[in-house]
Chains A and B, each alone.
Chain A
Amino acid sequence: MAFAAPPRLRRFASLEFVLGFLLLGGVVFCVVFSAWLFAPPGQISLSTRLLMPFQDAAHLFGTDALGRDVLARVAVGGWISLKVGFLSVMGSVVFGVVMGLVSGYYRGIWDMIVMRCADIQLALPFILLAITFVAILGGSLTNTITLLIVSQWVQYARLVRGSVLTLREREFILSARAIGVKNGAIILRHILPNLMGPVVVLMTLNVANNILLESSLTFLGLGIDPTIPSWGGMLAEGRTYLQTAWWISVFPGLAILCTVLGLNLLGDWLRDLLDPTGRTNR
Chain B
Amino acid sequence: MSSMMSFKKITVSALGLLLVSGALASPVCADGRLTVSSPQDPGSWDPVDTFLINWASVGTNLFDGLTYRGPDMKLVPALATSWDVLDDGTRIRFKLRQGVTFHDGEPFDAEAVKFTFDRLLGEEGAKGPQQSNYTAIERVEVIDDNTVDFHLRAPDPVLLTKLAGYGAMIVPPQYIKEHGETYFNTHPVGTGPFQFVSYEPKVGIKLKAYQGFWGDGPKLSELDYRFISEPSTAVAELQSGGVDVVIPPTIPIAMIPTIEEDDNLDLVTTSGPTVYALRFNTAEGITADERVRKALIIAVDRRSIVDGILGGQAQVIASFQGERSFGFDPDMQPLPYDPDKAKQLLEEAGVSPGAQVQIDIRGNDATFTEVTQAISAYLSMVGITASIHPVETNTLLNDIIPQGKTGAMFQQSWGGWTFDFDNTAYAMYHSGQKWNPYDSDPKMDELLESQRSLTDPAERERILQQIAHYAADRALEMPLYSLNAIYGVNKRVKHFVPAPDNRMRLNDVEVE
Contacts and interface: CB of A to CB of B under 8 A. Distances in A.
Interface in A66-90: 66
Contact of A244 (B257, B309, B372, B373): B257
Interface class of chain B by DSSP? helix
A240 B366 contact: yes
B369 A226 contact: yes
B254 A134 contact: no
A160 B308 CA distance: 53
Given A46-B309, A218-B363, A240-B254, A65 B370 contact: yes
B282 interface: no
Given A135-B395, A225-B387, A237-B370, A243 B258 contact: yes
Contacts of A222: 392
A226 B386 CA distance: 11
B278 to A, nearest CB: 15
A280 interface: no
B255 interface: yes
A205 interface: no
B335 interface: no
Contacts of B373: 44, 66, 226-227
Contacts of B232: 239-240, 242-243
Given A49-B308, A243-B232, A243-B255, A131 B370 contact: no
A66 B374 CA distance: 7
Contacts of B255: 240, 243-244
Contacts of B396: 221
B388 interface: yes
B252 interface: yes
Given A227-B376, A243-B255, A219 B304 contact: no
Interface in B357-403: 363-364, 366, 369-370, 372-374, 376-377, 387-392, 395-396, 399
Contacts of B390: 139, 218-219, 221, 223, 226
Contact of B389 (A65, A139, A219, A237): A139
A236 interface: yes
Contacts of B304: 46
B305 interface: yes
B481 to A, nearest CB: 14
A95 interface: no
B395 A219 contact: no
A59 to B, nearest CB: 16
B231 interface: yes
A244 B363 contact: no
Given A46-B374, A66-B370, A226-B373, A220 B254 contact: no
Contacts of B257: 244
Interface string A211-239: 00000001111110111000000001101
Nearest to A217: B363
B115 to A, nearest CB: 43
Contacts of B376: 227
Interface string A52-70: 0000000000000110000
Contacts of A139: 389-391
Nearest to A131: B392
Interface residues on B, range: 20 to 34
Given A49-B308, A221-B363, A131 B395 contact: yes
B388 A225 contact: yes
Interface in A229-282: 236-237, 239-245
Contact of A227 (B253, B388, B392, B399): B388
Contacts of A175: none
B377 A43 contact: yes
Contact of B363 (A46, A220, A245): A220
A225 B391 CA distance: 10
A56 B483 CA distance: 33
B370 A220 contact: no
Contacts of A226: 369, 372-373, 388, 390
A240 B363 contact: no
Nearest to A243: B258
Given A44-B374, A46-B308, A226-B388, A65 B363 contact: no
Contacts of B235: 243
A19 B491 CA distance: 52
Contacts of B254: 65, 240-241, 244-245
Contacts of B391: 134, 139, 221
A241 B372 CA distance: 18
A35 B44 CA distance: 56
A220 B373 CA distance: 18
Interface in A124-177: 131, 134-135, 139
B480 to A, nearest CB: 15
Contacts of A46: 304-305, 307-309, 374
Nearest to B231: A240
A134 B395 contact: yes
Contacts of A244: 254-255, 257-258
A65 B368 CA distance: 12
A48 to B, nearest CB: 10
Interface centre among B255, B392, B395 (most CB of A within 10 A): B392
Interface string B252-265: 11110110000000
A218 B370 CA distance: 14
B253 to A, nearest CB: 8
Contacts of A44: 373-374, 377
A44 B252 CA distance: 21
12 contacts: A43-B377, A44-B377, A46-B304, A66-B377, A139-B391, A218-B363, A221-B391, A226-B390, A227-B373, A227-B387, A241-B254, A243-B255
Closest 8 A-B residue pairs measured CB to CB? A46-B308, A44-B377, A221-B391, A240-B254, A221-B363, A221-B392, A240-B252, A241-B254
Interface of B: 231-232, 235, 252-255, 257-258, 304-305, 307-309, 363-364, 366, 369-370, 372-374, 376-377, 387-392, 395-396, 399
Given A65-B254, A219-B392, A240-B253, 8 more contacts: A49-B308, A66-B370, A221-B392, A223-B390, A226-B369, A239-B366, A244-B255, A245-B254
